[in-house]
Each structure stands twice: as structure tokens, then as C-alpha cells.
A and B are shown apart, each in its own frame.
Chain A
């Protein structure tokens, strides 16, 4: 049994995810009044480098990016739905500054450790952003805006999977289209 497991593991270690450089992805899910947003933004898109900040300028850029993401300014919804952003948490990975400020990050991933090591090996750095939103009238929600382009000129495209009561779809946001319209 043990031997079997060992061979299995040896084979399995040759699985690699497809990594597209500079691809920002995310999802948005609406469950009743709760709306959840989660984004993975490559360091390249945010600050233009994917390593620990090496000088004052890079440190500043990094701090500023995290500050922008931690604010809820970039998230907008149909006003009629009366949505309130209850929390936004930006967590960086691979920037060396281990600012896991995520007290709210309570996912019990079995494979969390794997994820972590993967990113370090690959030499990529990214920032994960998680936002929680409460909407008083979710049925009036017809669009959401992710204004993540003006502050980050390197960010060219953001692909977001969206799940609502009515539909499942993928939205591709660009500097010209920052709005996700419900179909």
C-alpha cells in the first residue's frame, strides 16, 4: 500500500497547471444577499515586477498597490441594489513581504501548502483580493464594476467568472469595459 502510494505520488508530481503570464482572473458569486468577489492579480499587472521590492521606489509602488486594493473604492454595483462592501482583503504572495494580514482568510484548504510552494517555485508573485459584499436588494443587481485599470496601467485584461441565481457566465474586463453586465 505504501509502495503504491509512493509511486502514485512520484507520477503525480509531474502535473503542472497552465500558467499564463500576466493573466488576471477572478470570480464573483451571488448567494442571496451575499456577494463574494475574489481576484488573483499577477504582480506584473499591479506593480510591473514579480519579486520582493528591491528599492525604495518598488517598495512604494507595492505599498500603494496594496493600499488601493485594500480600499473598497474600486468595487461598484447597481445603486438600487444597495450593496455595502463589508470587507476587502488583499494578500500578497511571492513578494517576500509576508503580509498575510488575512485574519478573515478562513478557508480550510487541504492543499494550501502546495499552492504556496508552487508560486514560490515558479518565480511568480501575485496579490489575491477577497471582497465580501452585502446587498439589501440583490434582485435589483444588474451590473458590477471593477475599476482596477486606471490605477494599474499594466493591467490589460481581467477575466471574471460570475455566478448568480439566474446565470453563469464569464466576463472579460478591459480598461474600456470595467463593467460586468448581468445577461
Chain B
């Protein structure tokens, strides 16, 4: 114990070099932990977002692309699909539920999704949890009126909307949109409970309202006088059949039916479609990003190695300066193995401080990155302690630090023996 106090004081005495060493190790540990934590958390977040969907159907495109634009709002669809296709899919015997989605509008940079009541009743996130409308009418009464909008938790929080507020949607998906659908304002009639998925970042209107918004907008801008006003839109609500959709979420009755239907959709002769199984497509995505992750890991591991070598350098270079100190210790009754232990303990303390600080840095980085990921992908990063196996790796690094210290320790051990016998000035 006395040796440990001594080690501590010795480190404090050389605090500048020690702090630099600790920082080197801390940054390397921080990088190592962060790479893994982020990877874990992002994957978790992606899986949470599509947990209850068996198939996603969209225009024929790359599976990853379809998943990214339909669920995460990354990129956009190359083509839309026909409303009749939706109806045909809905009629398939193995289909339990079908949720259509039409994208293309936004509100203050948040995505607006045209859908049906089925979305609120069937869509599941996280651990097979259904959507909950926290404030406002229940899911069964959603979209009673044409101009109702249900908003995600994050939208409500960020923009300060409550029930009854009137909002205007914008044409297109840019943050700053010059064209707004201001003739047809919507009323907030529901606020969803937070889910930690991209749903929190979206607004939901009925497909019919989505269609009503775009009457007269066929060329991309509104033809003067061609749009509907609220009253005429309401009157013709029944005639407002959607024409195209961006994607369709499907839930099937049995898991075994998923593959058959997927194949049939992919081979559908009438319209070129793609059907994807979200989990398998995510895996495909990880396979691609996995290469980058692996590289980052190797880099992080090398940086850790550099940190430990840095510590070795510091211990070795100070060894000469500390000859007097060692001699005094020896004169006071310290045995050579005490001196060696002292050096190992010092290294242990440095490595420990580096690891603790590194984990703290990783947590801080996660905390700083969370809003960015939330904004870009709608995924919540929760602050997580490193997992058990990560602690194992960190423990291994600490042990490696101790082993590295054996080099100066053995040098000191031999030297103090010699120093003790030779008479030197």
C-alpha cells in the first residue's frame, strides 16, 4: 500500500509528462470504445426501426436503397409504384396487413408521410411495440377529417406544437422550401409517443390529403387556380384516390410465406418492383459498412499500441533522472524488487487513468454525436456503458500496460543492484 502511495506521489511529481502519456492512452482507448459503441448503437437503432415489418415493397431498386429511403429518409425513391399494385398486394391471401406510404412533402425539414389508419394500428417498432398516440384521438379515429395531421414526438418537441395547432406543409423535401401548400392548412390532432426511431421525426397525413395537396401540382409547381381549397377538397374526398405510392410495408400471416411473396413481388410482370426483408437488407448494409468498421478498429488498436509505447518511452527516459531517487529509496531500506514494483505500479496507474478517461471521452463523443444521428437518421443513441466483453478488452489493455512496464522495471531492478554495490558520486 505504501508503495502505491509512493507511486502516486512520484507520478504527481512528474505530472506534465504523465498527463501527456495519460492523454495519449485516453484518446486511443476513447477511439477504440467509441467505434464499437457507435456500431452497436447504430445497428440497434436501425433494427428497432423496422422490427415488425416482414416485407418492404417499392419500385425496383437496390434493396439497401429501398430500405434507406422508405424507413430512414436517406436518399429518395427513383420511381413510385401504382396504387393498384397496393390493392393487389393487400388482396394476397398471405398478407396480414399492408401500410402504404407516400412521400414527397415536408414541414420545416421534417418528412411528411401520407399513409392510412393501418399505419398506427399495425406498424411496430423496438421490441414489437405498437405505436402509441400519446395526445389526441386514438388510432381508430385518426384521419376522420381530411386535414388532420399526426406528428412524431420529436417534431412536437422541436417545433413546440400541441393539439389543435394549424400547420402548412411544403412541397418537396428541402429544409427551406419556397413552395408551400398554404391553401390547405392541417390541424394537429395527434402526437405520437416517443419511439426512438425515425417515426419521431415525421408527420403523418392521410393518403387522401396527400393526394388533395397535389391536385393541380402535376407539373411540379401549382398551376394558378388549379388547386383545391379545403371545402372543395372535403367535398370531393371520396374521389381523391391516391395514384402512386413511394413504398408499402407488409406484415404477413406466417414467416414461411415471406419468401414466396418476396419472390412473386420481385418477379411481378406488371410493374417492376422490389421486395425486401428489412433484417436481411440491414445485414447486407452492415456487410458493406463492416469493412470500414474493421479498418477503424485496427486503427484504434494501433493507436492503443502507440499509447502504450509512449508510456514505455516516458518510463525509460525518466529512469536515468530517477537514479538518485532510487538510491535514496534503497538507502531507506527498499529492496530491488520494491523499486521494480514501483515502476510497474506507476505504469498501472497511468494505464488505468488512461482507460477511465478514455471511456469518459467515448461517452462524451456519443453524447455529442447523438443529436447529429438523430437529425440525419432519426436514430436515438442512448449513452451506454461498455459491454462486458469490452471491459474485458480494456482489462487486457491494462495488463498489457503492466507488461510493458516490466521492461523499465527489470532495468531498474538490475541497476539498483549494481548501483547499490558500486560507489558513485
CB distance from A154 to the nearest CB of B (A): 25
What CA separation (Å) do A158 and B321 show in the bound complex? 65
Q: Is the CB of A31 within 8 A of B267?
A: no
A38 contacts across to B, CB distance below 8 A? 259
Q: Point out the residue from B266, B270, B272, B277 that lies within 8 Å of A161, measured CB to CB.
A: B277
Q: Is the CB of B279 within 8 A of A8?
A: no
B255 contacts across to A, CB distance below 8 A? 29-31, 163-164
B270 contacts across to A, CB distance below 8 A? 8, 12
A111 within 8 A of B: yes
B272 contacts across to A, CB distance below 8 A? 15
Q: Is the CB of A161 within 8 A of B256?
A: no
Q: Is the CB of A111 within 8 A of B264?
A: yes
B179 within 8 A of A: no
Q: Point out the residue from A13, A29, A109, A169 that lies within 8 Å of B258, measured CB to CB.
A: A29
B280 within 8 A of A: yes
CB distance from B60 to the nearest CB of A (A): 9
A contact residues, total (Cβ < 8 Å): 26
Closest to A112 in B: B264
B290 within 8 A of A: no
B266 contacts across to A, CB distance below 8 A? 17
What CA separation (Å) do A27 and B258 show in the bound complex? 10
Chain B, residues 290-331, CB within 8 Å of chain A (1/0): the string is: 000000000000000000000000000000000000000000
A114 within 8 A of B: yes
A168 within 8 A of B: yes
Residue with the greatest number of chain A CB neighbours at <10 A, chosen from B266, B278, B283: B283
A167 within 8 A of B: yes
B2 within 8 A of A: no
Q: Point out the residue from A13, A30, A110, A169 that lies within 8 Å of B280, measured CB to CB.
A: A169
B284 contacts across to A, CB distance below 8 A? 170
What CA separation (Å) do A17 and B272 show in the bound complex? 11
Residue with the greatest number of chain A CB neighbours at <10 A, chosen from B256, B259, B269: B256
Q: Is the CB of A167 within 8 A of B258?
A: no
A110 contacts across to B, CB distance below 8 A? 264
B392 contacts across to A, CB distance below 8 A? none
CB distance from A32 to the nearest CB of B (A): 9
The contact size tier of chain B is 10 to 19
CB distance from A18 to the nearest CB of B (A): 10
A168 contacts across to B, CB distance below 8 A? 277-280, 283
Chain A, residues 1-27, CB within 8 Å of chain B (1/0): the string is: 000000011001101010000000001
What CA separation (Å) do A97 and B190 show in the bound complex? 62
Q: Point out the residue from B256, B269, B280 that lies within 8 Å of A114, measured CB to CB.
A: B269
A12 contacts across to B, CB distance below 8 A? 269-270
Q: Is the CB of B256 within 8 A of A34?
A: yes
B254 within 8 A of A: yes
What CA separation (Å) do A163 and B270 show in the bound complex? 28
Chain A, residues 150-182, CB within 8 Å of chain B (1/0): the string is: 000000000001011001111000000000000
B260 within 8 A of A: yes
A107 within 8 A of B: yes
Q: List 30 A-B contacts (CB under 8 A).
A: A9-B269, A12-B269, A15-B269, A15-B272, A17-B266, A29-B254, A29-B256, A29-B258, A31-B254, A31-B255, A31-B256, A34-B256, A36-B256, A107-B260, A109-B260, A109-B264, A110-B264, A111-B267, A111-B269, A114-B267, A115-B267, A161-B280, A163-B258, A163-B259, A163-B277, A164-B255, A167-B279, A169-B283, A170-B280, A170-B283
Closest 6 pairs between A and B when the two form their complex, measured CB to CB: A168-B279, A29-B256, A29-B255, A36-B256, A27-B259, A163-B255
Please name 15 further chain A to chain B contacts, defined as beta carbons within 8 Å, in addition to the given A111-B269, A168-B283, sorted by A numbering. A29-B256, A29-B258, A29-B259, A31-B254, A114-B267, A114-B269, A115-B267, A161-B280, A163-B258, A163-B277, A163-B279, A168-B277, A169-B279, A169-B280, A170-B284
